[in-house]
Structure 1
Amino acid sequence: MDYIYNSTDEDEDSLQVPCQFLEISTITGAMFIIIFILSVVGNVLLLWILFTFEKLYLSTKIFIINLACSDLIFTASVPFWAVYHLHYWVFGDFLCKFIIWMHFTGLYSSIFVLMAMTVDRFCTVVLNKMRNNNQRKKQYAIGVCVVVWVISIGISVYDAFKMELSDDYYCEVSYSDDLRYYFQVPLLFFIPIAIIIFCNCAIIYTILRTANRTRHKALSVVFCIVAAYIICWGPYNIVLLIKDLYKPKDCDELERLDIVYKVCQILAFSHCCMNPLLCMLNQKVRSHLFYLLCHRVGIIRERAN
C-alpha cells in the first residue's frame, strides 16, 4: 500500500513523498475472521448459560449479560472490517455509517457497563451499601444498563454521521474532528478507566484487610474482565492519539507506526471474545456449560435414533 508524508525543508516547499512498506492487511483480515467466530460462539454460549441457570436478580449477572450483548453488537461489525482490510469498502455509504454505529455502540456500552459493574462492586464491598438488598440492586443494575445503552447509542449516532464513502473505496471521516481526540476519547475511555482502577484498588485494599477468601474468589472474575479490557483497548487508544498528534518524519517511522497500529487494532478487537473465556474461570460456569453440551448431544442422539 502507498502512503504519503510531507517532507519539509527550510529552502523548499513541502513535498509529498510516496512510501511503500510491509503490508499486513491480509493477516489483519484473517485475524478478524477468527475473532468473529470465537466471539459469536463464546458469547452465545455465555448467554445460554446465564439465561438457563443463573438467577438474574444478582446485579453482576445482569451486567455480564449486557457485556455479552455489547460484545455481540461489536462482533457484528468485525466481518465488514475484515473485508475492508482484505480489499476495499464494498458495502456502500449506508452500511459505512451503520457499521460504524454498531462498532461504537458495542464499544461504548462495554466500557460504561464495566464502569457500572465496578462501581457496584465498590459500593457493596467498600461502602457496604445494599449488601443484602438484592431487589434494590437488581433495580439499580437494570436502570443503569438502560441509561448506558441510551448514551452509547446516542454518541454512536454522532460517530456514524461523520463517516462517508470516499472515492467509492474508503469508509472514513468526512471532515476533520478535533473533538474526538481532545474530548471524546479521554471522556469515553481514559476517565472511565481511571474510575475503574480507583474502585478496584479500593476493593483490593478492603479485601486484603478483611482476608475474606470467599469474597476474593467471587470478585476474581470481575477483576479479570476489567484487566482484559484495559490490556486490549488501552494500547489501541494510545496509538490513536499518537497517530493524530504525531507526524512521522520519514517512511520508516510511518511504517513502524502503521504496524504498531494494526497490531494494537487486532488486540483491541480480540476483546470481544475475551469475556466468555474469562467467565469460564468460574467452576460453576464450566459445570453448567458441560451439562448443557452433554444434554444437547443426548437430545441429538435420541432424535437420530
Structure 2
Amino acid sequence: MTDIYLLNVAIADLLFVVSLPLIVHNELSEWPMGNTACKLLRGSYSVNLYSGMLLLACISTDRYIAIVQARRSFRLRSLQYSRVMCTIVWASAFLLSFPTFYFYSRYEPSHTLEAFMEDTMVNQTSEAHHYVCEFQFSDNSTAWMTKVAVPSTQLAVGFFLPLLIMVFCYTGVIITLMKARNFQRHKAVRVVLAVVAVFIICHLPYNVTLLFDTVNMFGEQTCEFSDVILTAKTVTQTIAYLHCCLNPVLYAFVGVKFRNHFRRIVQDLWCLGKRYIAPRRFSRVTSEIYMSARRSVDGSSDNGSSFTM
C-alpha cells in the first residue's frame, strides 16, 4: 500500500519538475506558446501541488495505521483501498485546480506594450507584442473572488490540512515507537521527526508569505513594499520547491528494504555490463559474484525492522 502512495508521489513530483523550466521561462520573459499550453502548464502545476501534499498526508495516515493501529492494519491496508484513495486524491486535485485551468490565459497586457514603446523609442505604428500566461478576468468581482479563493484554498488544502494530518499521525507513531522494545526505534523516531521538520521548514515560510500577501492584496501599497513581498514570495517559493527533491530521500532511501533492492539493481546492472564487456573472461566469476551478492542482499533485507520508515 505504501508503494502505491510513493509511486503516485513520484509521478506528481516528476510532472512538477518537467513543468518547472517553462514556469521559470514565463516568469523571466514572455510566453512563447499558445493559450492551450498556458492552461495545461499552470493547471498541471496546481494539480501536482495538491496531489503531492495530499499524498504525503495519505502516507502519514498509512504509517499511523500500520504502527499504531497494527491490529486493524490487515483490514485497512490493502492495495484496492490504496488505489481508491489515490483516485480520490487525483480527482480532488483536478477539482481544486479548476479555477486555474479556467482563468489562466495567454494575452497581451496593455501596459507592457506602452512600456516597450517608451523604452525602445520605436514608432507608435510598429507592432511589438509581449504575451504573458497569467490570470485574466472579465470583471472586477470575479477577479476579487478568484484571487482570494485560489491562495486561500492552497493554504487550507495544500498546507494546513496535510500538516495537521502529519502532526497527528506522526505524534501517535512516535509515542508507539517509544513504548516498543526495539533497538531501531530511536532511528525510526529520528526519521519521523526529519520528515515533519523538513515539511515545515520547506513550506511554512512560503505559506506564511502567501497568507500575508493575500490579506494585503487589495490594500494600498507602496512600490517598495510590493517589491519586498514579491522578493519574499520568490525566495520562499524556491525553498518550497526544494521539498520535491527531498521526497525521494525522506520517503524511499531511508528504508532498509528499498536500499537493499536498489543496491541489488545496481549490482545486477554491473554484472550485466561485465558480461557484455568481457563475456568469456568474466562469465564464471561474474556468475559467482552475482549469486553471492544476491544471497547477501536477500539475507540483509529480511532482517529489516518493521519500524524502519
The alignment's TM-score, normalised by the length of structure 1, stands at: 0.70
Residue of structure 2 in register with 1:263 after alignment: 235
Residue of structure 1 in register with 2:89 after alignment: 148
**Residues 200-279 of structure 1 correspond to what in structure 2 (within 5 A)?**
200-214=170-184, 217=187, 221=191, 224-246=194-216, 249-278=221-250, 279=252
How far residue 234 of structure 1 moved from its aligned partner, in angstroms, is 2.3
Tell me: CA distance 1:280–1:160, structure 2 relative to 1, closer, same or farther (3 Å). same
Q: Which residue identity is paired with 1:174?
A: Q
Residue of structure 1 in register with 2:46 after alignment: 104
Alignment size in residue pairs: 246
Instruction: Indicate conservation of the 8 Å contact 1:113/1:145, yes or no.
Output: yes
**After alignment, is 149-158 or 98-107 more displaced?**
149-158
Tell me the C-alpha RMSD between the 2 structures.
2.7
Q: Which residue identity is paired with 1:292?
A: I
**Structure 2 gaps, min length 5:** 109-129, 138-142, 279-309
Picking from 71, 76, 79, the partner of 1:138 is 79
Structure with the bigger RCO (C-alpha within 8 Å, sep 6+) is: 1
CA distance in 1, matches of 2:172, 2:76: 25
Tell me: CA distance 1:304–1:293, structure 2 relative to 1, closer, same or farther (3 Å). same
CA distance in 2, matches of 1:90, 1:158: 22
CA distance in 2, matches of 1:219, 1:61: 21
Quick check: 1:165 aligned with 2:138? Answer: no
**Residues 1-305 of structure 1 correspond to what in structure 2 (within 5 A)?**
59-131=1-73, 133=74, 136-167=77-108, 168-175=130-137, 176=143, 177=146, 178-214=148-184, 217=187, 221=191, 224-246=194-216, 249-278=221-250, 279-303=252-276
Q: Which residue identity is paired with 1:155?
A: L
The alignment-based identity, stated in percent, is 28
How far residue 95 of structure 1 moved from its aligned partner, in angstroms, is 1.0
Deviations 1:57-102 (A, max 9, x none): xx22221111111111222211111222342221221111001121
SS in 1 for 2:155: helix
Deviations 1:153-198 (A, max 9, x none): 2322332112111315221122321222344531342122112212
Tell me: CA distance 1:239–1:79, structure 2 relative to 1, closer, same or farther (3 Å). same
Instruction: Indicate conservation of the 8 Å contact 2:178/2:185, yes or no.
Output: no
Deviations 1:99-120 (A, max 9, x none): 1121112111111111112122
- Runs of at least 4 residues off by over 6 Å: none
Instruction: Indicate conservation of the 8 Å contact 1:73/1:105, yes or no.
Output: no
Deviations 1:245-298 (A, max 9, x none): 225743433333222211111111122211122322334433433332343244
Tell me: CA distance 1:209–1:158, structure 2 relative to 1, closer, same or farther (3 Å). same
Q: Which residue identity is paired with 1:152?
A: A
Deviations 1:179-231 (A, max 9, x none): 22344531342122112212212221222233544456557656544443332
Tell me: CA distance 1:61–1:157, structure 2 relative to 1, closer, same or farther (3 Å). same
CA distance in 2, matches of 1:65, 1:104: 19
**Structure 1 gaps, min length 5:** 1-58
CA distance in 1, matches of 2:245, 2:154: 25
The alignment's TM-score, normalised by the length of structure 2, stands at: 0.69
Instruction: Indicate conservation of the 8 Å contact 1:77/1:99, yes or no.
Output: yes
Q: Which residue identity is paired with 1:146?
A: T
CA distance in 1, matches of 2:188, 2:80: 21
Higher strand share: 1
